[in-house]
Amino acid sequence: MDCNAVKPGIRVKTTKLGDTMGMTIALKHLSVRAEGVTGTVKSYVPGHGGDVWFVQHDGSNDVGAYVFDEMEPI
């Protein structure tokens, strides 16, 4: 997904996940990351230049942190 296309409120599906080294994000947002999850983009993760976004997973209270190229619009 193009980094400029990511906006709060859009629906996405996560794709192949990359490395999380260098991310300064609470473990609760990193531990729930998974491929193939659908959800809604909530907001960008501060301190990551707009490259990393919080995604509320469908059907749960989990909010994962994903890089813009780890998701596609649905």
The pLDDT tens digits for 19-66 are 999 899 999 999 999 999 999 999 999 999 889 999 999 999 999 999
Could you report the per-residue pLDDT of 50-60, keeping only the tens digit for each?
899 999 999 99
At 27 the pLDDT is: 96
Which residue is it, tokens 């409120």? 9
In angstroms, how far is CA 12 from the centroid of its own chain?
9
CA distance 64 to 33: 5
